[in-house]
Amino acid sequence: MADSFLQEQRQQHLDSQTGESGFALLNTGREAFLARAALIEVANHSIDAQYYIWNDDATGRYLAGRLLVAADRGVQVRLLLDDINLAGKEPLFARLDAHPNITVRVFNPVRARNGVSRLFALAANFDRINRRMHNKSFVVDGHAGIAGGRNIGDEYFDEDPLQNTRDRDILVLGPLADPLGDSFQAYWQDLWAYPLDQLHELSPGDLPEVLEQSVERPALRTRPPAGEEAARKYLDQTFAGVIQAPAELVFDPPPENPEGPASTPKATARALYRLANAAETEILIESAYLILTDEELNGTSGLGNPDVSVTAFTNSLATNDLLTNHSGYARWRKAMLASGIDLYELRPDSPACRQWIADGVACGPGGLSLHSKAVVFDRKTLFVGSFNVNLRSIYLNGETVFIIHSPELARAVADDIDYATGPENSWRVSLDENGDLRWHAGDLTVGHEPDVGLWRRFQSGFLSWLPIAKYL
C-alpha cells in the first residue's frame, strides 16, 4: 500500500520517538467543517465516519457529495449512522450506498420508517431505543481523525442563518487514530448495525441531482478547499500546529443486550470518575446538557468532593435547544448548587457568540446554543468528546472521548470556559438565604429563569417533576 499524504504528515510533524499523537482544537464550526472537507480530499485509502446526526442540508449534502467523489477515485468509504434522527433522510444515504466503494449501515434501527407506525414501534421498544450511538468519529487512512461534540449539519458548522451552536472537536494525527478506528469498528460489526438497503430500498428518486449540484456549486458561506492541492496546503498548515501529548481514547462499546438494564456507569463515565477522584484543586465542566443527581454527587464520581472546586458551564433555558433536557437539569439544579458546584448558564445575548461563530449573522436573539462537551482537571488534563455530563451519557449512550494530558490544551479550554462564564456571557446561578434560586450578571440579579417568557418557564417547571432525567 502506497504511503498516503496523511502518513507523510505524520512523519513530518510528529516525533515518532515519543509514540505520542498530535492534537489540535477545532473551536469554530468553520474550522471543523474545513478540516473534514480537507481530509476527504486527501484520503487515499479509507474513510470511516460514525455520526449520531447527519443532516440533509447544505453542509451535509456537500460532505456526502465529496464522499462520492472520493469513492470514485477508489477510496473505500464506510458510513455508520444512528437511526434515531435518520428517518426521512434515507434517500441521501441510499444514493451513497449505491456506490460500489461506499457502504452505509444504521445502528439500532426501527423497522417502521415513518408515520404513526414508527411512533408505535419507538414506544414498543422503549428500552432498546434509548440505547443510542451518540459517538462521533471521522477517521481517514488510519492516520488522522476527528472526534468531539459536533454532528454533521449547518448549525454545527456556522452555516445556519438563524441557529448555530458553540461546539468543540479535536483533530488527531498519529497513533491514536488507530483506537479511534477501533471504536468505529466495534459498532460497525455489531449485530445491531444493519445495512441500509435492508431498511430502505433504492429507487430512482434516491439519485437527486441536488447532491451533484451541492458539490459543483455548494450553497455555503465558507469556501471549502477546491481540490486535493488546496486541501493538502490547508492540512499541512493545520498539522504544523498540533500539540504532541500523552493521551488515551476511551469509548463505550455497543451494549451486549440493548434491551437489558442500564444501571451501571459506562466506560467513558468511569474514566471521568477516575479523573475527578484524582483531581487536586479544580474541575471545570463545559456540557450542553448537565444532570447530576444525588447518586453522582454523593457517590464515587468525585464530582461532589468538597475539597475540589467544581465549576460547570451549561445552557440556560433561553439557549437550550431541548426543553426536556433543561427540565431535567432544572430538577437537580438546587442539589448541584448545594453540593458546592458553581453553576453558570449561557446568555442568549452573549458577545462571545461573535468569537465562537465564524459568521456573526446568527448571533441575534435566539441564535446561539451550547453543544460542546469538555472537562478540564487541574488545568493539566483535558477530557473531550461526545460525552455530556448527564445521566444519558453516563448510563445509556455510547460515547467516545479523548483524555489528553497536555497543560497547553487544558489551559486553552480552561481559558475558554473562564471567558464563557464571565458576567457578559453567562448568568451565575446561586441559592439565597431562603434556598431560592437567583441569577446574577454583574450588578443585575433576577429571581426567575432569565430571557424567557412565563409559558416556557412553566413548561420546564412542569416537566422537571417527571422522573425522566435518565432519558434526557
Model confidence pLDDT, tens digit, residues 316-373 = 999 998 888 999 999 999 999 999 999 999 999 999 998 898 776 677 777 899 999 9
Instruction: Identify the sign of the CA torsion 156, 160, 166, 172.
Output: positive
**Is 378 annotated as catalytic?**
yes
Find where cell 471504536 sits. 183
Is the distance from CB of 103 to CB of 126 less than 8 angstroms? no
Report pLDDT for 1: 42
Fold for 5-239, please state it.
Endonuclease; Chain A (3.30.870)
Domain boundaries, the chain: 5-239, 261-471
Q: Quick one: pLDDT band at residue 190, thresholds 50, 70, 90?
A: very high
- Catalytically annotated residue among 373, 380, 416, 451: 373
Number of alpha helices (DSSP H) and beta strands (DSSP E) in the chain? 16, 21
- Catalytically annotated residue among 57, 83, 97, 136: 136
pLDDT at 207 over 60: no
Q: Quick one: pLDDT band at residue 2, thresholds 50, 70, 90?
A: low
**Is 371 annotated as catalytic?**
yes
Does the pTM surpass 0.85? The reply is: yes
**Is 134 annotated as catalytic?**
yes
pLDDT at 80 over 60: yes
- Segment 109-119, tens digit of pLDDT: 987 667 777 77
Is the distance from CB of 385 to CB of 148 less than 8 angstroms? yes
- Catalytically annotated residue among 141, 154, 158, 160: 141
pLDDT at 288 over 90: yes
Indicate left, alpha or beta for 107 from its phi (over 0: left) and psi (-120 to 50: alpha): beta
**Is 200 annotated as catalytic?**
no
- Catalytically annotated residue among 200, 371, 380, 451: 371
Report pLDDT for 200: 83
Give 186's contacts (C-beta < 8 A, 6+ positions apart).
251, 253, 254
Report pLDDT for 11: 94
Average predicted confidence (pLDDT) for the chain: 92
CA atoms of 95 and 98, how far apart (whole Å)? 5
Is the distance from CB of 96 to CB of 72 less than 8 angstroms? no
Report pLDDT for 112: 67
Q: Report percent pLDDT > 70 for the chain.
A: 97
- Segment 381-406, tens digit of pLDDT: 999 999 999 999 999 999 999 999 99
Q: Which of 204, 192, 9 is nearest to 107 (CA)?
A: 192
Is the distance from CB of 73 to CB of 103 less than 8 angstroms? no
Report pLDDT for 209: 67
Give me the helices (H) in 217-367, please: 228-239, 267-278, 294-298, 323-338, 353-356
What value does the mean pLDDT take over residues 258-268?
89
Q: Judge whether 5-239 and 261-471 match in fold.
A: yes
- Catalytically annotated residue among 236, 342, 378, 405: 378
- Catalytically annotated residue among 57, 83, 134, 206: 134
Q: Quick one: pLDDT band at residue 34, thresholds 50, 70, 90?
A: very high
**Is 141 annotated as catalytic?**
yes
CATH class of the domain at 261-471? alpha beta
**Is 405 annotated as catalytic?**
no
Q: Which of 356, 372, 402 is nearest to 172 (CA)?
A: 402
- Segment 86-145, tens digit of pLDDT: 988 998 999 999 999 999 999 999 876 677 777 777 777 778 888 999 999 999 999 999
